[in-house]
Amino acid sequence: MDEPSPELLESYTRLLDLVRSGVADTRPALSQKTGLGRTAITQRTTTLLEAGLLEEGDLNPSTGGRQARTLRFRKDAGRILTAELGATGFIAGVTDLMGTVLVMKRRDCDIAQGPEPVLAEVEATLDALLVDAGGVPSDVWGVGLGLPGPVEFATARPSEPPIMPGWNNYPVRERLSARYNAPVWVDNEVNLLCLGELRAPGQLNDLGDLLYVKIGTGIGAGISHGGRLHRGAQGCAGDIGHAAVSDDSSVVCRCGKTGCLEAVAGGAALARDGERLARSGESPALAAVLGAKGTITATDVTAAAGAGDHHAVQLLVNAGRRIGAMLATMVNFYNPSTILLGGKIAGAGDLFLATIRETIYRRSLPLSTRELRIEKARLGEEGGLVGAAYMVLDELFSVRHFGKWLHAGSPSGITGMHGTTGVQPGLASA
């Protein structure tokens, strides 16, 4: 069957969006919102009903005229497999077609092991979760994956990721497409965390120009403009962790360069400096941890700071000032309306966050901070899964891809529709 015209596809996706979002749930309401006549609405909704994307609901109460039957989006018609990979572990989950996480699981896993063992672990976890969710392979409409490094969005391939040896140019999409017989999209994990905050049901919808900052082992940012994710020309916008903030050539980052923000203020830097304090005896609390465990982590540093250890507190304050100074540059340059702080280290306590806030306000232009909100990320650890699901859903229901599977009623088994949406270079539909 021939693919519908772009104009007709745009009309289909608009109607679906209105029903999915709850803005309109009857044919008369769809007509009012779109300006389409009754005949056009009937024809289009019939197509969507026959494709199994919409279903008829109850009759609405009469308001004096003919009762209108409601329309519902079939959110359980398929499932999205999602995973967010970090430096030392990953979270995997299964969502419905509204991005709601149905089941999820966290696993410890070293990303530096390489793509073969790591993805094998991810696949095994996703397989088990699909069964737990009561699904079968043909239910999989798509797979969304977040990686802790630069990803060329068009090809879904990692591009010289600093902490991911062996992953450069690895065919992640091809592997997962063959495994699940479904389309696959891959992005940087922080982009997906940002997208999750933008799109999750029940979240505030006024985030518009959002800067999402993840402070964990490394540091990264996701950027949105007008409620839409901005990836940049090749997909690596927001990689602030590798912006130079120090001239100290002795501080070598995991990327091989010196003076990067991540190398002086990220979780790995806190662990390194905390171990130095422990070995020198300057911090008795951290020395005790080192003696008991043989190593110091960023979590140990934040715990010591929370217990009142002066030296650990100073490490956090210094890191907060470094991060705040970089974010002040971003605020002056980009002028976001909201900054959300996420990641393990972002949960280090009020002093750390207060230091970041104070530095941003002190070093930014008054106009750029007049209405700026700086808050903790609203979603928990499932935020990346929600973002991964919406990355897939936005692509599946885009004009670029929707026509390739509409008449089949499902994208399961269709693995050749990939790439970015055709709306604007560097922007993801939202």
pLDDT > 90 fraction of the chain, expressed in percent and rounded: 70
Q: Which of 5-9, 142-146, 297-301 has the highest mean pLDDT?
A: 142-146
In a domain, residue 308? The reply is yes
Give the integer Cα–Cα distance in Å for 48 and 28.
16
Residue 31's domain spans which residues?
Answer: 6-73
What's the total number of domains in the chain?
A: 3
| The two structure tokens encoding residue 304 | 């010591």
Q: Please answer whether residues 293 and 274 qualify as being in contact, where contact means their C-beta atoms are separated by less than 8 angstroms.
A: no
Predicted local confidence at residue 427, as pLDDT: 41
Residue 428 within a domain: no
CATH code of 144's domain: 3.30.420.40
Q: Is pLDDT of 66 > 80?
A: no
Q: Examine residue 414 and state whether it is found in any structural domain, yes or no.
A: no
pLDDT at 47 over 90: yes
Listed in sequence order, the residues at least 6 apart from 146 whose beta carbon sits closer than 8 Å to its beta carbon are 83, 84, 85, 186, 187, 188, 189, 191, 192, 193, 384, 387, 388
Task: Quickly state the pLDDT bin for 64 (edges 50, 70, 90).
Answer: low
Whether 337 and 278 share a structural domain: yes
The band of 381, judged by pLDDT with boundaries at 50, 70 and 90, is confident
What is the CATH classification number for the domain harbouring 58?
Answer: 1.10.10.10
pLDDT band at 248 (very low <50, low <70, confident <90, very high): confident
CB-based burial, 162-200: b 16+ in 10 Å, e otherwise:
bbbeebeebebbebbbebbebbbbbbbbbbbbbbbbbbb
**Pair 303, 158 in one domain:** no
Q: Give the mean pLDDT of 162-170.
A: 92
Note whether 234 and 362 are same-domain residues: yes
pLDDT band at 201 (very low <50, low <70, confident <90, very high): low
Q: For residues 41 and 27, is the Cβ–Cβ distance under 8 A? A: yes
Q: What is the pLDDT of residue 61?
A: 67
Pull the structure tokens for residue 200: 């999750």
Residues 21 and 123 in one domain: no
Alpha carbon of residue 74 to chain centroid: 24
Q: Which of the four pLDDT bands, split at 50, 70 and 90, describes residue 425?
A: very low
Give the pTM. 0.90
| pLDDT tier for residue 206 given thresholds of 50, 70 and 90 | low
